[in-house]
């Protein structure tokens, strides 16, 4: 509510009819704005509570996400006869952990290149987290691949984030990856998630082709390349893209937003505004470089924003 000098109220002062009417209207408008803001805050809290309940339900200890899709318990196609089982990161056996580490190295050391030693340590920590959920794929003798995923929040949207989709080389190119991603999307929708999100290394051209062309995923607006585009940053690049497939209008508006010329201009305006508020252009580049932190693709916007004490809304 705006303050009008000493005139805190139209009453008790000799004002012209026009002034009294204007101030009374402004008072009514301010009260309406206040009610609107209270409603907005209420809606925000209700939404936050709803999302927390969704995640809590999705992580229920007795929940087997495969049980809702019995037709996906088995894969019998292209000469393969496989079956699937659910798992959790905090219940992995020693042998399972060893298998996961070995398969990750076989498939991912090449695409990560010089970054692999660091990423390998990150992935080792992630794989046994209580939040890590798994779909294990077996043939008659042994495991041949897995999906690791989590339920989390991206830009206030509840999402299923695919951390890993790893298959032994002999089982790739036979429709199994598409089958598993279809299952993941069903699990996401069944649990009220707005999207499936994942990270892919740019060097992994076969994976990029698989997700973008075969599965119709999009490069997300939270991907580094899109953020650089929005902010007008030239000559900066990350080694990965963040992809998504959305299931509702809200998630689509947030995670698949395209940047037009006007939105780029707005990004430039934000840069100027941040500079005027004490954030230099060099620091802004630091913000852009770090607003997406590679932790197998998990975004940590709020942490980085709090470090820089700046928000880009």
Other C-beta atoms within 10 Å of 4: how many?
12
CA 17, CA 10: separation in Å to the nearest integer?
11
Provide the CATH number for the domain around residue 107: 3.40.630.30
- Global confidence as pTM: 0.73
3 within domain boundaries: no
27 within domain boundaries: no
Phi, psi of 142 (to 5 degrees): -160, 180
User: Is 238:225 a contact under the CB 8 Å cutoff?
Assistant: yes
The number of folded domains in the chain is: 1
**E strands present in the chain:** 74-77, 80-88, 133-138, 143-154, 157-167, 195-201, 218-219, 240-246
List pLDDT tens digits, range 93-115: 999 999 999 999 999 999 999 99
- Residue-number span of the structural domain to which 121 is assigned: 63-259
CA 215, CA 257: separation in Å to the nearest integer?
19
**Where is average pLDDT lowest: 35-39, 140-144, 147-151?**
35-39
266 within domain boundaries: no
44 within domain boundaries: no
97 within domain boundaries: yes
102 within domain boundaries: yes
Closest to 154 in 3D by CA, of 92, 104, 221? 221
List pLDDT tens digits, range 57-85: 999 988 999 999 999 999 999 999 999 99
24 within domain boundaries: no
Place of tokens 């913000």: 287
CA 92, CA 100: separation in Å to the nearest integer?
10
Specify burial of residue 58 (Cβ count, 10 A radius: 0-12, 13-18, 19+): buried
Closest to 57 in 3D by CA, of 158, 182, 170? 158
89 within domain boundaries: yes
The bridge status of strand 195-201 relative to strand 157-167 is parallel
- Return the pLDDT at 265: 46
pLDDT for residue 25 is more than 70: no
List pLDDT tens digits, range 192-237: 999 999 999 999 999 999 999 999 999 999 999 999 988 888 878 8
């Amino acid at each position: 509510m705006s303050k009008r000098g000493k005139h805190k109220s139209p009453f008790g002062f000799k004002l012209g009819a026009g002034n009294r009417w204007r101030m009374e209207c402004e008072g009514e408008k301010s009260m309406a704005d206040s009610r609107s803001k209270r409603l907005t805050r209420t809606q925000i809290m209700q939404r936050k509570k709803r999302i927390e309940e969704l995640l809590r339900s999705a992580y229920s200890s007795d929940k087997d996400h495969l049980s809702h899709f019995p037709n996906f318990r088995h894969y019998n196609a292209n000469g393969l006869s496989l079956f699937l089982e659910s798992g959790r990161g905090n219940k992995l056996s020693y042998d399972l952990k060893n298998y996961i580490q070995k398969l990750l190295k076989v498939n991912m050391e090449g695409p990560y290149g010089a970054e692999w030693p660091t990423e390998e340590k990150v992935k080792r920590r992630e794989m046994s987290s209580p939040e890590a959920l798994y779909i294990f794929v077996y043939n008659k003798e042994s495991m041949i691949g897995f999906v690791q995923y989590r339920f989390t929040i991206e830009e206030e949207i509840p999402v299923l984030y695919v951390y890993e989709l790893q298959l032994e080389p002999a089982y790739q190119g036979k429709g199994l990856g598409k089958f598993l991603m279809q299952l993941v999307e069903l699990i996401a929708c069944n649990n009220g998630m707005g999207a499936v999100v994942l990270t892919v290394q740019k060097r992994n051209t076969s994976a990029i082709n698989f997700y973008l062309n075969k599965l119709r995923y999009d490069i997300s607006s939270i991907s580094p390349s899109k953020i650089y585009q929005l902010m007008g940053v030239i000559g900066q690049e990350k080694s990965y893209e963040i992809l998504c497939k959305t299931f509702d209008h809200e998630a689509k508006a947030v995670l698949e937003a395209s940047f037009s010329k006007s939105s780029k201009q707005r990004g430039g305006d934000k840069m100027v505004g941040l500079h005027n508020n004490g954030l230099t252009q060099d620091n802004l580049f630091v913000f852009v470089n770090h607003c997406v932190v590679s932790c197998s693709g998990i975004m940590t916007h709020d942490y980085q924003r709090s470090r820089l004490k700046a928000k880009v809304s």
